[in-house]
Structure 1
Amino acid sequence: MLAAYSMAVVSGADPSSSANVLTDILGSATLCKREEDDYVEYIPVKKRRVMEAQKIVQCKGNSALEDESQKHAVARPSLLVKVSQLKLDLPEITPSEHIVQQEKQMIEHLADRKTLMSVRELAKGISYTEPLFTGWKPPLPIRRMSNKECESIRKQWRIVVDGEDIPPPIKSFKDMRFPEPILKKLEAKGITKPTPIQVQGLPVISSGRDMIGIAFTGSGKTLAFVLPLIMLALQEEVMMPAVPGEGPFGLVICPSRELARQTYEVVEEFFIPLREYGYPELRPLLCIGGVDMWSQLEVMKKGVHIVVATPGRLKDMLAKKMMNLNNCRYVTLDEADRLVDLGFEDDIKEVFDHFKAQRQTLLFSATMPANIQNFAQSALVKPVTVNVGRAGASNLDVIQEVEYVKQEAKTVYLLECLQKTPPPVVIFCEKKADVDDVHEYLLLKGVEAVAIHGGKDQEERERAISSFKAGKKDVLVATDVASKGLDFPDIQHVINYDMPAEIENYVHRIGRTGRCGNTGIATTFINKNQIGTTLLDLKHLLQEAKQRIPPVLAELNDPVEEVDAITDTSGVKGCAYCGGLGHRILDCPKLEHQKRMQIASSRREDFGSGGYRGEF
């Protein structure tokens, strides 16, 4: 090829044709090279058979190695296999036991709150190990009582206590060493001997111990924490009189204005005889919303000993430096679980931030679920729990009647129920609009009635309650604002125009009658509009109080009986969150409502109260 190209060049041919010749030559060379690369050597048949046999032997060897590795894998199982095996080895648990385990975990998470401790105490890790010293001691014979004698008295009065070094119960006010004017005032009110919650509660509180008091409605819980508070204020005033702007020494927090005013009146009632007998003057203060703040400030300037307040107004006065808790050493949360339920938890936490030293903390309520008790005990100092009856149980002095009434017939049937007993009568409704409708209907029928709910101003609410207490009006129509702790004299009959969504509200409502040993009647209207769990709670409550169960409730299926059989011995019977006996905490409507409220609150914080607001 190169020779042909040389001859073309020597012969003087055209350069372009010479280039073409060179291109042809190079192309032929490349083709030959490709043919050499694609060349496959011929393998004889005999040799190919040997090669195939070797491949078969090699495949068998690989399969044997895989089998061996699988044997080793069985000998050494993976972590996933180990976990599965451990689960299989665990003892089998029934579905009911599984539910109980889930509930315990939920209660532990719910109780992981320390609202009753200030931010300063939590931040610095401050914890108090010993209760406050008061100097009070019971008479010597009572101090010398043996544990067996104390337990005998508690059993006689059906008192259940829990705690360390519990003071002995005392069966008379005189042995509690109250001054003469207080004893005479109690006697004038017809109170000659203490109630069960007072028999054990008064010695515990007078000793300076933190306490959780649980007792049915109308059992005298208010006096149990008011009398020791008065003695503390008197002791402080005698030792060092309060100067202008000083105080308070004791604080009572209530969930509603009406309950705060009632407690304030009880405190003021005992201050009068003390002053008449020549004891130092003690000044109380009512700190509630709906009242001019400057009038409250005028009282504060003189120096106060006891403040009875609602959380909102108290928080405002503390924030504006109109009041301080530097010397406060006694605080009571009345209807403590209701304070938490009504959304006052953050307000209470802010109030506790103003305490500068250790204080004696008391919690009282008729319905105190286990989760509230657990979280309270984590912040109290060696607390004593005094329980008279089951927390959340209804008053046994109330005859409970449940009637199935269609929604459209309730107003007409209401007049028939009013004829069961003479006045005074309280009618409870769920909604403010229903209160107004029932009130208007009764007025049209000639019934002397008044109404209160959260939509009315404070002056109108106070006027309605005072006229009803004075006997000028026969019927009070109200929402649950009147069901928490209010003490109405001689209530004969309570009518639940609407069955409340939560069984706790039902217990508080019917507790407005049958107080202080008297007998009362509670009539409740139910229909298909009620939640199934609430009706089951009502059914169990009637069974517990040995009341007649209507057929509409008796027919309800009860899914919690098997679980309750387990928890009777080792856990909480019924719901640990709201105290209802007809459902478990996993199905608690109150807990679901609280979760929805928390979600709604977090959304308001993120987007504002008016919904999403974009920034442009």
Structure 2
Amino acid sequence: MELDDDYVEYVPVAKRRAIEKQKILQRKGKVSQEAEKESKPSLLVQSTQLKRDVLSATDQIIQQEKEMMDHLSDKKTLISVCELSKGITYTEPMLTNWEPPLHVTNMSREQIDLIRKQLHIIVNGEDIPAPIKNFKDMMLPRPVFETLKEKRIVKPTPIQVQGLPVVLSGRDMTGIAFTGSGKTLVFVLPLIRLALMEEKRRPIGPGEGPIGLIICPSRELARQTYEVIQQFLAPLVEAGHVSLRSLLCIGGVDMRSQMDVVKRGVHIVVATPGRLKDLLAKKKMNLDSCRYLTLDEADRLVDLDFEDDIREVFDHFKSQRQTLLFSATMPTKIQNFAKSALVKPVVVNVGRAGAANLDVIQEVEYVKQEAKIVYLLECLQKTSPPILIFCENKADVDDVHEYLLLKGVGAVAIHGGKDQEDREYAISSVKAGKKDVLVATDVASKGLDFPDVKHVINYDMPGEIENYVHRIGRTGRCGKTGIATTFINKNQSETTLLDLKHLLQEAKQRIPPVLAELNDTMEEAESVANASGVKGCAYCGGLGHRIRECPKLEKQMSVAISNSRKDYFGSGGYKGEI
């Protein structure tokens, strides 16, 4: 069909009106607002373009890391369900009747800052109590002071100089210090004083208590803490003070003996999370009158394995309590998570959180996997016994233990698969000098005190740098020096080895060639650390990577995802292909 040359396409009425309106506005010298809207990008697009243009690469990394930390912190809080549901918040710390001597109270700001600078103490918080440089001025009960002298503890360590006044004054606290720095006394001595005061004010009756609760991640650490408390309680009774009852609440021990103490009324409980949760759930014990809570090795307790248990324990508190957290490694992630449980907390930091003990000489040696067990005998000759050997898994512990026994070495072993009686025998025999070598998994790396150990051997380099710091901290305690020998080979990930390299650099230790040759990408990240104020990884504390490449975070996310998956039959996980 032929087209008419005079054909004009039909234009709808609405469109013709819009065209006429546009012509009129143009004649008046104005621009149509509708046309302007169409030509300009949206505010969201403008914001994205502005951020892309203005933010440097460093700023983008910092912003990404902050968003990751906020996401991790917002998902979980360390608050009881009851307090959360009722909207209960505590704004002021608990008050105590403890007061320092007048000359301590009258110290000037310059004097206080000088003491902290001399002892390398970093504090953060509001209205922080002044440090006290001797036990006499801490106004402790005389029998406690005399017991310290008998144990040849005559001068407080840096964490005790600042930590004890903070805890005695009733403040919530996060204590970070090197392994072997005396953190245990910082929370034990104020608890004993508080229990004495409460017993004199209103005696504990049958089935009542405790006044104070100390939670530890392992049975061995709980028993060690319990024994420290017992050393101070007996002299108090001999001096005429009221009798205080303490309880060791751990698994692997007959519950009936523990219940006998609870029925009489208990003042102080030292517990592991599993057994404590069991007693509370069965209503065999309550926390109605508990006003003092300590999480020892807090980074381990609020980690993936114990996090839910700790939150369940918090649900049993009926009122405000003084909460203390202590550890040698306290990554930013843990500190942010724990803030929800603390009221106007004071952070006392002696050295960087996660730094290695400077009194330990760290030696790193490249040893092939098949040659490690043979080379182990040569390493044992470096120092006199006792010596600790750490392995990653139970099977390696058993293999090394058997090999040493065949070679005539007096060795004992400890891991989570052994009976409680065997575990206690292993620890006590090494401490008493009856055995020369203890072979263990990381169950023996957290907080245990072996005063005479001069040498720690890492038969396996741990996958997380936090565990390495805790392991080598079993030597070089309380001002003594020690040696830590670590075997590495191609089985370790490059991220772990980079963390180790930076830890050695920080402690001014010799860097072996195999670590020096590693491709180090953290040099580029120094500007990020300086700008963000976070050195290394904020999640695990490793210095060789940032949080975006954190192997611990990646591993825990994988575990969380696998645990959340359910098959169609509700069996709780994948059964595999049929």
Instruction: Name the SS of the counterpart of 2:64 in structure 1.
Output: helix
- Larger deviation: 105-114 or 577-586? 105-114
Aligned to 1:36: none
Aligned equivalents of 2:9 and 2:540: distance in 1? 76
- Can you list the C-alpha shifts for 1:106-164, whole angstroms capped at 9, x where unaligned? 11111125543211100010001111111100001101112221111111110000000
Aligned equivalents of 1:206 and 1:218: distance in 2? 21
Superposed, 1:281-296 pairs within 5 Å as: 281-296=243-258
Report the TM-score when normalising by structure 1. Answer: 0.87
Aligned to 1:368: 330
Given residue 424 of structure 2, which amino acid in structure 1 is its aligned partner? E
Aligned to 1:77: 38
Given residue 246 of structure 1, which amino acid in structure 2 is its aligned partner? E
Superposed, 1:468-483 pairs within 5 Å as: 468-483=430-445
Aligned to 1:52: 4
Aligned to 1:34: none
Aligned to 1:359: 321
- Larger deviation: 114-123 or 549-558? 114-123
Q: How far off its partner does 1:509 sit?
A: 0.2
Aligned to 1:537: 499
- Larger deviation: 561-570 or 371-380? 561-570
2:188 counterpart of 1:238: no
- CA separation of 1:604 and 1:175: change in aligned 2, threshold 3 A: farther
Q: How far off its partner does 1:270 sit?
A: 0.5
2:166 counterpart of 1:204: yes
Superposed, 1:357-436 pairs within 5 Å as: 357-436=319-398
Contact kept? 1:96, 1:562, Cα under 8 Å: no
- CA separation of 1:609 and 1:512: change in aligned 2, threshold 3 A: farther
2:266 counterpart of 1:314: no
Aligned equivalents of 1:572 and 1:79: distance in 2? 40
- CA separation of 1:608 and 1:495: change in aligned 2, threshold 3 A: farther
Q: How far off its partner does 1:57 sit?
A: 9.9
Aligned to 1:498: 460
Give structure 2 stretches of 5+ with no counterpart: none
2:291 pairs with one of 325, 329, 338 = 329
Aligned to 1:457: 419
Contact kept? 1:436, 1:451, Cα under 8 Å: yes
Contact kept? 1:115, 1:345, Cα under 8 Å: no
Q: How far off its partner does 1:380 sit?
A: 0.9
2:539 pairs with one of 573, 577, 592 = 577
Aligned to 1:163: 125
Given residue 367 of structure 2, which amino acid in structure 1 is its aligned partner? V
Aligned to 1:272: 234
2:39 counterpart of 1:87: no
Aligned equivalents of 1:149 and 1:557: distance in 2? 46
Aligned equivalents of 1:162 and 1:408: distance in 2? 49
1:562 pairs with one of 506, 524, 529 = 524
Aligned equivalents of 2:9 and 2:323: distance in 1? 87
Aligned equivalents of 2:428 and 2:282: distance in 1? 32
Superposed, 1:582-597 pairs within 5 Å as: 582-597=544-559
Contact kept? 1:216, 1:389, Cα under 8 Å: yes
Aligned equivalents of 2:261 and 2:567: distance in 1? 36
Larger radius of gyration: 1
Q: How far off its partner does 1:92 sit?
A: 3.0
- Can you list the C-alpha shifts for 1:193-220, whole angstroms capped at 9, x where unaligned? 1001000000000000000000010000
Aligned to 1:260: 222
Aligned equivalents of 2:75 and 2:237: distance in 1? 43
Contact kept? 2:304, 2:556, Cα under 8 Å: no
2:48 counterpart of 1:98: no
Aligned to 1:108: 70
Report how many residues are paired: 562
Aligned equivalents of 2:404 and 2:109: distance in 1? 57
Instruction: Name the SS of the counterpart of 2:319 in structure 1.
Output: coil
- Can you list the C-alpha shifts for 1:249-301, whole angstroms capped at 9, x where unaligned? 00000000000000000011110111111111111000000001111001111
- CA separation of 1:607 and 1:232: change in aligned 2, threshold 3 A: farther
Aligned to 2:489: 527
- CA separation of 1:516 and 1:543: change in aligned 2, threshold 3 A: same
Instruction: Name the SS of the counterpart of 1:52 in structure 2.
Output: coil
- CA separation of 1:113 and 1:170: change in aligned 2, threshold 3 A: farther
CA RMSD after TM alignment: 2.4
Give structure 1 stretches of 5+ with no counterpart: 1-39, 41-47
- Larger deviation: 594-603 or 414-423? 594-603
2:473 pairs with one of 493, 497, 511 = 511
Given residue 499 of structure 2, which amino acid in structure 1 is its aligned partner? D
- Larger deviation: 282-291 or 563-572? 563-572
- CA separation of 1:313 and 1:82: change in aligned 2, threshold 3 A: closer
Aligned equivalents of 1:480 and 1:606: distance in 2? 37
2:514 counterpart of 1:552: yes
Contact kept? 1:214, 1:386, Cα under 8 Å: yes
Instruction: Name the SS of the counterpart of 1:331 in structure 2.
Output: strand
Contact kept? 2:563, 2:573, Cα under 8 Å: no
Contact kept? 1:100, 1:563, Cα under 8 Å: no
Aligned equivalents of 2:528 and 2:72: distance in 1? 22
Aligned equivalents of 1:608 and 1:501: distance in 2? 33
Percent sequence identity is 71
Contact kept? 1:216, 1:388, Cα under 8 Å: yes
- CA separation of 1:88 and 1:612: change in aligned 2, threshold 3 A: closer
Given residue 556 of structure 2, which amino acid in structure 1 is its aligned partner? Q
- CA separation of 1:342 and 1:255: change in aligned 2, threshold 3 A: farther
Aligned equivalents of 2:47 and 2:570: distance in 1? 51
Instruction: Name the SS of the counterpart of 1:372 in structure 2.
Output: helix
Contact kept? 2:77, 2:340, Cα under 8 Å: no
